[in-house]
Structure formats: structure tokens, C-alpha cells
Amino acid sequence: MILLFVGDVFGKPGRRVLGRLLPRLVDQWQADYVVVNVENAAGGFGVTPQIMEEFGRLPIDCFTTGNHIWDKKEGVALLDRHESLLRPANYPEGNPGRGLHLGETPGGVPVAVINLEGQVFMKALDSPFRVADRLLAGLDPKVKVVMVDFHAEATSEKQALAFYLDGRVSAVLGTHTHVPTADERVLSGGTALITDVGMTGPYDSVIGVRPDKVLHRFLHQTPASFDVAKRDVRLAGAVVDIDEETGRARQVTRLLIEDPGP
């Protein structure tokens, strides 16, 4: 089976290129299952009911997020209403939402998606390694295809989780830094790895934000609004070819595609 994952959709430019390119990518790759990270979809911070309605018109099976899912109150309220909208599983109990989604392809192949957040340079959350152990232990043995969106800052932590889960999940695909890495590979146990698939949004920017606004903060150390940039919009993601009988990845392909325009 073919799993298509799209990284960090950033603001309106990211939503626009996703809408233009996703249907044709599904056709081009004959994708069986589509996962999209949407934590930056609303102006770079969180998601809203209107945006989720917009995404509902696209061929997306599951939505992952990260630390910015909490930035819009109306978005937080969606976590208990949309089973396919995840937040990192290693946040403490008592928070809304869930970090694991069970779905299936049109052909009936079960697919599990796990959303985790890193600890290095981020919040003091539960160990993503131990939480992954717990979630995998609770899966039905019939579920062979498992994808992990690891929303983390440190390259080392992302790679370490992939090696820790090698042979137990089909793919560990990194998000959060918005900078795509050229280290796609399949580990010896059959787990596909990309440290960060990159941002779907404007690349004439500092990780999605207008450079002048970011430079103001660095140079003056005083607040400046983080406005979404608009130029050089691209879709970033990955395509993973998975043996549905074993859950082992056969191949992983990195995507970085320019917006074709109207």
C-alpha cells in the first residue's frame, strides 16, 4: 500500500497549495491512505472549525498536529469532536483529544497513526519512547501498518525514536522544524525515516513567517507580529510504499513541490 504524508501546512498559502496539489498527488501515487499535519493551518498557529471544514473536502484520512494545536481555543474544542484529528499522545491525561487513530484503506487494510511530541528543547512531556511502547502494545496484532508523526525539535531525538521503533512501525516521519531534511531511508528492520518532511507553505520566509518580522525580534528583542509570508509556496511531504502483510516499508520518497498556481 501507499501512504502519503504532508508536513506542517502553514497558513493560507499552505492551505492553498494543499488544495491544488493533494488530489493530483493522490492520483499520481495511487495513494491508499493520506495523513496531513495541520497544526499551523490557521495563520501559523492552530486550526479552526472553518479550516477543518475546508480540509474535509480533500482526500485526507487523518490529521496530525503538535505543540501549536493548543493556540486556538476553537481548535482545541475540535479534538474531542473529530476522531481523525490528533494531538501528541504524550500530553498528560485530562487533556482533550487523543494521539492514536485507527483507520483503514479503501481496500480494508487497517492503518494506525500515532502522533508524538519531542522532549528536547520543548515541553517536559511524558517520554515519547515509553508512550509509543504503550500505544503499540495496545494495538490489535492484525494492525500491521503503523505511521508515527514525531513532532520534535532535535534531529537526534527524531532519529533515535526511529531506531527505537525500527521493525515495530512502518514509518517515523518528523515534523515541527519546517526545514526538510535529505535523509530519507528505510532502516534495517523495515521502518522508513525522514528526520523532517518540511513545511507546506511559503519558503521565501523564516520557517513560514515574513523575514522582516523575524529580524525585528532578533535585532531589537522586542515583540513583533509573526505575519505569514506569501511567496515561493511549496508542498512538502513523503510517500511510503509499505508491505501491508508485514507492515515493513519498501521505499520512502521525499516530496517538495512548487505551487503550480491557479
HSE at residue 197, side-chain half, CA atoms within 13 A, is 34
Cα 135 to Cα 46: distance, rounded to the nearest angstrom: 25
Q: Which of 72, 9, 78 is nearest to 40 (CA)?
A: 9
Q: Name, in order, each residue with C-beta under 8 angstroms of 51's C-beta and a sequence gap of 6 or more.
A: 15, 38, 41, 42
Q: Which three cell numbers stand for residue 205?
A: 520566509
Q: Which of 185, 180, 182, 218 is nearest to 172 (CA)?
A: 185
Residue 240 — φ and ψ, nearest 5°? -120, 125
- CA 188 vs. chain centroid, Å, equals 23
Other CB atoms within a 10 A radius of the CB of residue 4 amount to 25
Tell me, yes or no, if 82 is annotated catalytic.
Answer: no
Residue 133, burial from CB neighbour count under 10 angstroms (0-12, 13-18, 19+): middle
Residues catalogued as catalytic: 68
